[in-house]
């Protein structure tokens, strides 16, 4: 008699509506229980029995209950699964296939089957791309995945690269080239500058050479710099198949051990590359730098042919300038180019130190591999004077391009950095008062004020203060309209000097060439293209970091590093411990609270201030130099656990 009773149905709806529910993201722990994070301040406990029906990262709706005077939640409805397309490691048992998702908090194997189009044969230890097709909250009694394709066999030494690239949907190979791609598509008039002594300075193994320089001194003692940039857009028509591929890739990716080019290698490393003694089409600009370091307002952009007279390396040029080593320029004309470029570099560095923002040298690390692809060592690479020569020359060129685009079009692809927003500016001012540094929020949100702050901090040279201030700064981005780049200290900045490696630079090339050729049908870049480039850059950086973390773990899990002492710098304070960077090789390690002090109740981890208090006293802070010992290397999570050496 109660079947299809509308009153009963209404009663059920009313009861269901009265049951308290919450929505949030599932966060699992190593001890089996979890939490449902509703927002940054509120989370609810998920008992181990309830965690069996969800996965870390799932967005769910849950019923809120009280058990033993404690609020808990019972997962009820899946809103969005954390796993959709994912990568994982295969386990084969009793002719059944299982996959372990490659995420630190997912530790259970998922039974899987082959997708109908997948013809790969899987064995234990192989890696694959999979898709979750059954979730327990959707009424299934088990989680189940479908294997889409194989990534790499268990025996391959290139697992860190291929797995990471598959996870981030990044191409693994160079684009294919077709016969038409090697043909010059333009018939513009170009100046013949093949008689000038252009030189290139790069890493010794660089093949995709995209910038060449020629410099001379005029009658007034000013330096006239001609920057010649490889011109791939002379071969790649806008909207062509290869252009679409370049936009999709966005950048040439430089990963430890090798690169994956944005363009076919035949173009990027041969036809377009400014190889020595080869006639090449270029987009060029001639810039005069005055005796006081200022850039003249008269900048000339034009199309040309050049022929590089020498392919030089950073180390050789630096050695020669620093008067060490045996290398010397092969010709007097090449020697003169190096001397004038060095003079220009010092002039501009002095100008930027006084008028803009001069970078502090950062330490970079390079993995050294065996022929089999195994990490043999990790070495420090310092930026030397030849690196700075090229850097200053490219900065000059990019400032000039930004002004040229703004004056003639009012748009392009600009590199921007907003400095501090209003809230963070106030935080910075409050923080600096503790060190008797008096600034106002209004002041440091202007380009001039920001630059002045950076110059003061450079003189102060306090690593803790610098670390704190950097955390308040905004991130760099792209814009299609002119906007300041606070981190560099310029009103506008637009790169065009790496078109072989960056699609954004290809766009600026086309715009610059359109102005030169007085094109009346110039198309403004869209906001959508800018967003695509920004997202691709972000994804590439994450992939590079993930590969490096994996390689560090493989390198440091060797027995020789067990219980070995390392000097390290504290780079982050979290709620549960300290993150530090090993100075010798750049690896990031985590030091749990337990390894800092035996009693957790005595400790306060202040993330905002970057300080660890123990019994009320400051014991550790950002930028502190400490000595650590590697305690454990976890391959699955790609994490390195260390303890303080006492």
> What is the pLDDT, as a whole number, of residue 232?
97
> Is residue 152 assigned to a domain?
yes
- CA atoms within a 13 Å half-sphere pointing along the CA-CB vector of 71: 11
Q: Is the pLDDT of residue 10 over 70?
A: no
Task: Judge whether 315 counts as a catalytic residue.
Answer: no
Beta strands in 382-431 (DSSP E): 414-416
**Using an 8 Å Cβ cutoff, are 362 and 356 in contact?**
no
**Using an 8 Å Cβ cutoff, are 411 and 483 in contact?**
no
Based on the fold, state whether residues 191 and 338 are members of the same structural domain.
yes
Task: Judge whether 501 counts as a catalytic residue.
Answer: yes
Which of 80, 111, 127 lies at the terminal end of a domain, its last residue?
Answer: 80
Among residues 58, 102, 181, 211, the one annotated as catalytic is 211
Based on the fold, state whether residues 572 and 448 are members of the same structural domain.
no
Instruction: Return the higher-pLDDT residue of 67 and 310.
Output: 310
Structure tokens belonging to residue 544: 């590079």
How far are the Cα atoms of 12, 13, 17 from residue 3, in angstroms, in the given order? 13, 15, 21
Q: How confident is the model at residue 646 (pLDDT cuts 50, 70, 90)?
A: confident
Among residues 210, 319, 505, 624, the one annotated as catalytic is 210
User: Which DSSP helix (H) or strand (E) runs through 572?
Assistant: strand 565-573
Q: Which domain holds residue 590?
A: 559-644
Interval 436-462 mean pLDDT: 95
Q: Is the pLDDT of residue 12 over 70?
A: no
pLDDT tens readout for residues 315-370: 999 999 999 999 999 999 999 999 999 999 999 999 999 999 987 778 899 999 99
Based on the fold, state whether residues 498 and 570 are members of the same structural domain.
no
3-state DSSP call for residue 332? helix
What's the total number of domains in the chain? 5
- The dihedral built from the CA positions of residue 227, 228, 232 and 233, taken in this order, carries a sign that is positive
Give 631: exposed, middle or buried? Use CB within 10 Å, 0-12, 13-18, 19+: middle
Based on the fold, state whether residues 350 and 449 are members of the same structural domain.
no
pLDDT tens readout for residues 114-147: 988 888 889 999 999 999 999 999 989 999 999 9
Based on the fold, state whether residues 304 and 384 are members of the same structural domain.
yes
| CATH number for the domain harbouring residue 75 | 2.40.50.140
> Is residue 318 assigned to a domain?
yes
Whole-number average pLDDT of the chain: 93
Structure tokens belonging to residue 633: 């290397």
**Using an 8 Å Cβ cutoff, are 246 and 260 in contact?**
no
> Is residue 174 assigned to a domain?
no
Under DSSP, the state recorded for 561 is: G
- Edge-first strand listing for the sheet containing 611-614: 603-606, 611-614, 617-621
How remote is the C-alpha of 451 from its chain's centroid? Answer: 24
> What is the pLDDT, as a whole number, of residue 31?
83
Q: Is the pLDDT of residue 104 over 90?
A: no
Q: How confident is the model at residue 105 (pLDDT cuts 50, 70, 90)?
A: confident
**Using an 8 Å Cβ cutoff, are 588 and 580 in contact?**
yes
Interval 286-300 mean pLDDT: 94
pLDDT tens readout for residues 217-253: 998 899 999 999 999 999 999 999 999 999 999 999 9
Report d(CA 512, CA 405) in Å as an integer.
7
> What is the pLDDT, as a whole number, of residue 41?
81
> Is residue 5 assigned to a domain?
no
Q: Is the pLDDT of residue 283 over 90?
A: yes
Write the Ramachandran bin of 419: left for phi over 0, alpha for psi from -120 to 50, otherwise beta: left
Which of 500, 517, 547 lies at the terminal end of a domain, its last residue?
Answer: 547
Which of 39, 59, 80 lies at the terminal end of a domain, its last residue?
Answer: 80
Based on the fold, state whether residues 251 and 370 are members of the same structural domain.
yes
Bridge-partner residues for 564, per DSSP?
A: none
Q: Is the pLDDT of residue 68 over 90?
A: no
Based on the fold, state whether residues 257 and 318 are members of the same structural domain.
yes
Degrees, nearest 5: CA angle 20-21-26: 145
**Using an 8 Å Cβ cutoff, are 641 and 589 in contact?**
yes
> Is residue 168 assigned to a domain?
no
Interval 403-410 mean pLDDT: 97
**Using an 8 Å Cβ cutoff, are 321 and 338 in contact?**
yes
Task: Give residues with Cβ within 8 angstroms of 268, minimum separation 6.
Answer: 207, 208, 232, 252, 261, 262, 500, 501
Based on the fold, state whether residues 294 and 405 are members of the same structural domain.
yes
pLDDT tens readout for residues 572-583: 999 899 999 999
Q: How confident is the model at residue 18 (pLDDT cuts 50, 70, 90)?
A: low
> What is the pLDDT, as a whole number, of residue 70?
84
Task: Judge whether 202 counts as a catalytic residue.
Answer: yes
How far are the Cα atoms of 374, 455, 586, 636 from residue 377, in angstroms, in the given order? 9, 36, 12, 22
> What is the pLDDT, as a whole number, of residue 346?
97
Based on the fold, state whether residues 144 and 275 are members of the same structural domain.
no
- Look at residues 34, 67, 35, 304 and name the one whose alpha carbon lies nearest to residue 186: 304
**Using an 8 Å Cβ cutoff, are 99 and 149 in contact?**
no
Based on the fold, state whether residues 39 and 145 are members of the same structural domain.
no
Q: How confident is the model at residue 14 (pLDDT cuts 50, 70, 90)?
A: low
| CATH number for the domain harbouring residue 126 | 2.40.50.640
Say what the pTM is. Answer: 0.91
Report d(CA 625, CA 570) in Å as an integer.
7
Based on the fold, state whether residues 459 and 604 are members of the same structural domain.
no
Among residues 190, 348, 501, 510, the one annotated as catalytic is 501
- Look at residues 44, 24, 23 and name the one whose alpha carbon lies nearest to residue 33: 44
> Is residue 173 assigned to a domain?
no
Among residues 102, 126, 181, 208, the one annotated as catalytic is 208
Among residues 235, 314, 411, 414, the one annotated as catalytic is 314
Among residues 58, 126, 202, 319, the one annotated as catalytic is 202
Residue whose pair of structure tokens reads 């003061």 in the numeric block: 456
Task: Give residues with Cβ within 8 angstroms of 552, minimum separation 6.
Answer: 378, 585, 586, 587, 588, 638, 640
Q: Is the pLDDT of residue 15 over 60?
A: no
Based on the fold, state whether residues 203 and 290 are members of the same structural domain.
yes
Report d(CA 93, CA 95) in Å as an integer.
5
Task: Give residues with Cβ within 8 angstroms of 271, minimum separation 6.
Answer: 182, 235
User: Between helices 527-556 and 241-249, what is the axis angle to 10°?
Assistant: 60
Question: What radius of gyration, in Å, describes the C-alpha atoms of the chain?
Answer: 29
Interval 308-314 mean pLDDT: 97
> Is residue 479 assigned to a domain?
no
Task: Judge whether 435 counts as a catalytic residue.
Answer: no
Structure tokens belonging to residue 224: 């006239």
> Is residue 320 assigned to a domain?
yes
């Amino acid at each position: 008699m109660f079947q299809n009773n509308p009153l009963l149905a209404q009663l059920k709806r009313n009861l269901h509506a009265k049951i308290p529910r919450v929505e949030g993201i599932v966060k699992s722990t190593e001890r089996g229980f979890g939490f449902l994070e509703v927002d940054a301040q509120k989370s609810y406990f998920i008992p181990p029995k309830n965690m069996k029906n969800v996965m870390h990262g799932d967005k769910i709706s849950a019923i809120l209950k009280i058990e033993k005077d404690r609020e808990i939640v019972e997962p009820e409805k899946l809103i969005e699964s954390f796993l959709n397309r994912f990568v994982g490691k295969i386990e084969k048992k009793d002719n059944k296939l299982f996959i372990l998702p490659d995420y630190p908090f997912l530790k259970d194997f998922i039974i899987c089957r082959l997708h109908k189009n997948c013809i790969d044969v899987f064995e234990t230890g192989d890696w694959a791309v999979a898709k979750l097709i059954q979730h327990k909250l959707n009424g299934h009694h088990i989680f189940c995945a479908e294997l889409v394709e194989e990534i790499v066999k268990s025996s391959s030494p290139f697992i860190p690269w291929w797995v990471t690239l598959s996870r981030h949907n990044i191409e693994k190979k160079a684009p294919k080239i077709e016969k038409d791609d090697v043909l010059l598509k333009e018939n513009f008039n170009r100046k013949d500058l093949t008689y000038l002594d252009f030189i290139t300075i790069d890493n010794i193994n660089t093949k995709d050479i995209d910038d060449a320089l020629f410099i001379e001194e005029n009658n007034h003692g000013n330096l006239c710099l001609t920057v010649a940039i490889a011109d791939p857009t002379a071969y790649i028509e806008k909207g062509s198949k290869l252009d679409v591929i370049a936009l999709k890739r966005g950048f040439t990716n430089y990963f430890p051990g090798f690169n994956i080019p944005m363009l076919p290698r035949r173009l990027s490393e041969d036809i377009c590359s400014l190889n020595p003694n080869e006639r090449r089409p270029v987009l060029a600009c001639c810039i005069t730098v005055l005796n006081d370091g200022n850039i003249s307002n008269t900048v000339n952009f034009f199309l040309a042919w050049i022929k590089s007279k020498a392919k030089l390396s950073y180390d050789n040029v630096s050695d020669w300038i620093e008067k060490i080593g045996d290398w010397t320029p092969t010709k007097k004309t090449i020697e003169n180019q190096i001397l004038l470029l060095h003079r220009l570099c010092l002039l501009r560095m002095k100008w930027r130190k006084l008028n803009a923002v001069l970078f502090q040298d950062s330490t970079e690390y390079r993995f050294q591999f065996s022929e089999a692809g195994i990490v043999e060592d990790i070495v420090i690479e310092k930026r030397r004077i030849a690196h700075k020569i090229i850097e200053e020359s490219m900065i000059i060129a990019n400032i000039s391009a930004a002004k040229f685009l703004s004056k003639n079009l009012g748009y392009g692809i600009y590199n921007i950095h907003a400095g501090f927003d209003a809230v963070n500016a106030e935080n910075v001012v409050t923080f600096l008062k503790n060190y008797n540094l008096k600034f106002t929020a209004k002041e440091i949100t202007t380009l001039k004020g920001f630059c002045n702050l950076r110059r003061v901090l450079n003189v102060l040279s306090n690593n803790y203060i610098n670390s704190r201030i950097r955390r308040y700064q905004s991130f760099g981005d792209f814009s299609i309209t002119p906007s300041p780049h606070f981190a560099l200290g310029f009103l506008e900045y637009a790169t065009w000097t790496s078109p072989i490696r960056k699609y954004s630079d290809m766009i600026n090339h086309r715009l610059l060439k359109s102005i030169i050729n007085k094109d009346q049908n110039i198309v403004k870049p869209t906001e959508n293209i800018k967003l695509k480039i920004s997202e691709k850059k972000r994804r590439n950086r994450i992939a590079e970091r993930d590969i490096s973390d994996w390689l560090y773990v493989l390198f440091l899990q060797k027995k020789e590093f067990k219980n070995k002492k390392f000097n390290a710098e504290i780079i982050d304070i979290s709620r549960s411990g300290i993150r530090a960077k090993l100075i010798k090789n750049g690896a990031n390690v985590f030091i749990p609270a337990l390894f800092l002090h035996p009693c957790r109740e005595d400790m306060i981890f202040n993330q905002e201030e970057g300080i660890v208090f123990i019994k009320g006293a400051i014991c550790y802070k950002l930028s502190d130099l400490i000595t650590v010992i590697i305690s454990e290397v976890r391959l699955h999570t790609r994490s390195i656990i260390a303890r303080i050496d006492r």
